[in-house]
Amino acid sequence: MGPASSLDTRLYRAALSLYPPAFRREFSPDMVRDFDEARHEAQVTDQGCGLWTFRAQMITDLASTVVWQWLRTGLPFIVVLAVTGPLIAASALASLWRPVSIVLPRETADADMIVLELLVAVVLFVIAATIIFTLWFTRPIRRRIRP
């Protein structure tokens, strides 16, 4: 096979890095071999459009299977749960704080600065809680993935 084959194979191998690590370790050698064989067959059978049709089919197959394999790991669901939990908590805190009027001391020159500081504190709380929940919920998955 010529230099175009090696470029296609290198691009395909790079695209395999989009798969979850456990899937990649188990199946990537076979997938690359099958890709090379199918590419060679497409090149031999039809010199013109066959190779481009093959590439288009591989791109669509790659896109769908990458998404499917990540969904099978359960990680996207865990991340969604880890993000929604802190957002719901922050929303509940915000709704409880709404009726309370904050009285600023007279020495405060800029009330907008205090509101900005409160907003930054809430955002940092959401980010920290998301990281903590994600690490907590993915702990069993990370243990399972390690060799």
Identify whether residues 9 and 65 lie together within a single domain.
yes
Domain count, the chain: 2
- Other CB atoms within a 10 A radius of the CB of residue 39 amount to 21
Instruction: Pick the last residue of a domain from 50, 72, 94.
Output: 72
What the block records as the tokens of 86 is: 């802190």
pLDDT digits (tens, 9 = 90+) for 13-36: 999 999 998 899 999 999 999 999
* Out of 31-45, 85-99, 108-122, least confident range: 85-99
Identify whether residues 115 and 135 lie together within a single domain.
yes
Identify whether residues 15 and 35 lie together within a single domain.
yes
pLDDT band for 103, please (50, 70, 90 cuts): low
Q: State residue 139's pLDDT score.
A: 67
Identify whether residues 65 and 102 lie together within a single domain.
no
Q: Is pTM, for the whole model, over 0.75?
A: no
Question: Which domain range does residue 25 map to?
Answer: 3-72
